[in-house]
């Protein structure tokens, strides 16, 4: 095992059949061991495309509240939820329901409420007023996630040898969307052709995922799908597509998917970190040289967003970054 892997293992990462799940202790980012932790984060991003964090500063009450609110929302009568169903990609709040994927002949059972959160005053009135606790719980949760997100963006910037505020400047305190995800219990006879979410990457800089204790979340690691076991009081941090571009392909976007089961419903809350529409995304100059030419040309987040929807329609979400490949690459 590499020295850095032993350090990561010592911090309590879970053993899995082909290795282990990297677990980062964020408390150590404040202390004298910061540079070691930054190195561990860099290693995890480069070799695993994700890591778990503990001692992140978000209270258990806060996470229990947001998971509880998510369960309550999806229990609401159908017409109450359907108010948020729309085909307009520009709507800041949108409900996704389960659907049949005719091409792959599978039923995708996830229901998700996805909405913009920051700045709160621009969006809060659009959020569901039911359950009554939702707005308060979302605000509290997103405020603490934002704090953690900033600390992670600083550490990830440093891990790439960039200025501490490099990624935060790109983000410019802008985007945050959350997706409250609900996976119903699957009937035994439907298990073979039902999935929670198909394999995909996230269109983000990073994603911060809070999962409950029901298994189902899988990530692609060295060509194999592995279960990310639930460790209480941790979050899963994913490398997203935009970090793949900014890091000039040193960190790769995480492929992940969700399986369902016949015993328990599952809920999760994903927090997506992305910049404003007019922000230019491109490889950091410091990470380009003769041996590492820029893999992607610069593009705005608006261009990327448009491409993302085109890829959804064409069932080619794994190809959405290909359009931006630079001719030199």
Ligand X SMILES: O=C(O)CCC(=O)C(=O)O
In the range 174-213, which residues lie near ligand X by CB under 6 A?
A: 179, 181, 197, 202, 209, 211
Q: Which residues contact 179 (CB under 8 A, 6 or more apart)?
A: 112, 113, 114, 269, 270, 272
The beta strands (E) that lie in 28-149 are given as 50-54, 93-96, 99-101, 106-108, 111-116
Q: Which of 200, 292, 296, 279 is nearest to 245 (CA)?
A: 296
User: What are the percentages of helix, strand and coil residues in the chain, rounded to 5?
Assistant: 35, 25, 40
Q: Which of 184, 211, 178 is nearest to 67 (CA)?
A: 211
DSSP three-state, residue 55: coil
Q: Which does 228 bind (CB under 5 to 8 A by kind): Fe ion, ligand X, none?
A: none
Closest separation in Å from C-beta 186 to ligand X:
15
Closest separation in Å from C-beta 209 to Fe ion:
8
DSSP three-state, residue 218: strand
Question: Is 256 among the residues that bind ligand X (CB under 6 A)?
Answer: yes
Residue closer to ligand X by CB (options 196, 282) is 196
Question: Is 65 among the residues that bind ligand X (CB under 6 A)?
Answer: no
Closest separation in Å from C-beta 297 to Fe ion:
25
Q: Which does 268 bind (CB under 5 to 8 A by kind): ligand X, Fe ion, none?
A: ligand X
Q: Which does 217 bind (CB under 5 to 8 A by kind): Fe ion, ligand X, none?
A: ligand X
Binding mask 265-294 for ligand X (x = CB under 6 A): ---x-x------------------------
Closest separation in Å from C-beta 258 to ligand X:
5
Q: Which does 115 bind (CB under 5 to 8 A by kind): ligand X, Fe ion, none?
A: none
Total number of residues shown for the chain: 329
Residue 158 parent element (H or E): helix 134-159
Q: Which does 234 bind (CB under 5 to 8 A by kind): Fe ion, ligand X, none?
A: none
Question: Is 63 among the residues that bind ligand X (CB under 6 A)?
Answer: no
Closest separation in Å from C-beta 202 to ligand X:
5
Asked if 172 and 276 touch (Cβ cutoff 8 Å), the reply is yes
Q: Which does 218 bind (CB under 5 to 8 A by kind): ligand X, Fe ion, none?
A: none
Closest separation in Å from C-beta 267 to ligand X:
8
Q: Which does 253 bind (CB under 5 to 8 A by kind): Fe ion, ligand X, none?
A: none
Q: List Cβ<8 Å contacts ≥24 apart for 60-65.
A: 60/233, 62/140, 62/141, 62/144, 63/141, 63/210, 63/233, 65/133, 65/137, 65/140, 65/141
Minimal CB distance to Fe ion: which residue?
202
DSSP three-state, residue 217: strand
In the range 151-180, which residues lie near ligand X by CB under 6 A?
A: 179
Residue closer to ligand X by CB (options 181, 234) is 181
Question: Is 217 among the residues that bind ligand X (CB under 6 A)?
Answer: yes
Residue closer to ligand X by CB (options 144, 317) is 317
Q: Which residues contact 117 (CB under 8 A, 6 or more apart)?
A: 123, 138, 142, 176, 177, 178
For binding to Fe ion (CB under 5 A), which residues are involved?
202
Question: Is 67 among the residues that bind ligand X (CB under 6 A)?
Answer: no
Q: Do you find a cis peptide bond into 119, omega within 30 degrees of 0? A: yes
Asked if 17 and 226 touch (Cβ cutoff 8 Å), the reply is yes
Closest separation in Å from C-beta 110 to ligand X:
7
Binding residues (CB under 6 A) for ligand X: these are: 179, 181, 197, 202, 209, 211, 217, 256, 258, 268, 270
């Amino acid at each position: 095992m590499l020295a850095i892997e032993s350090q990561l293992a010592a911090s309590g990462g879970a053993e899995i059949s082909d290795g282990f799940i990297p677990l980062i202790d964020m408390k150590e980012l404040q202390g004298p061991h910061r540079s070691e932790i930054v190195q561990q984060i860099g290693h995890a991003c480069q070799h695993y495309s994700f890591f778990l964090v503990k001692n992140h500063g978000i209270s258990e009450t806060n996470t229990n509240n947001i998971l509880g609110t998510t369960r309550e929302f999806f229990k609401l009568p159908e017409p109450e939820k359907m108010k948020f169903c729309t085909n307009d990609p520009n709507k800041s709040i949108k409900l996704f329901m389960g659907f049949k994927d005719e091409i792959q002949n599978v039923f995708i059972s996830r229901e998700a409420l996805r909405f913009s959160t920051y700045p709160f005053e621009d969006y809060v009135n659009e959020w569901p007023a039911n359950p009554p606790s939702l707005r308060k719980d979302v605000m509290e949760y997103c405020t603490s996630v934002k704090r953690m997100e900033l600390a992670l963006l600083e550490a990830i910037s440093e891990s790439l040898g960039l200025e501490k505020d490099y990624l935060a400047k790109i983000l410019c305190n802008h985007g945050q969307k959350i997706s409250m995800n609900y996976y119903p219990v699957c009937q035994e006879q439907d298990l073979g052709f039902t999935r929670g979410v198909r394999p995909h990457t996230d269109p983000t800089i990073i994603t911060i995922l809070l999962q409950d204790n029901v298994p189902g979340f899988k990530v692609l690691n060295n060509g194999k799908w592995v279960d990310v076991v639930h460790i209480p009081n941790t979050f899963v941090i994913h490398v997203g597509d935009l970090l793949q571009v900014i890091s000039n392909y040193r960190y790769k976007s995480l492929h992940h998917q969700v399986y369902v089961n016949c015993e328990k419903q599952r809920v999760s809350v994903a927090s997506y970190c992305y910049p404003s529409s007019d922000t230019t995304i491109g490889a950091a100059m410091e990470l380009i040289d003769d041996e590492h030419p820029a893999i992607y040309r610069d593009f705005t987040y608006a261009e990327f967003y448009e491409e993302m929807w085109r890829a959804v329609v064409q069932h080619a979400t794994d190809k959405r970054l290909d359009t931006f490949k630079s001719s030199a690459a």
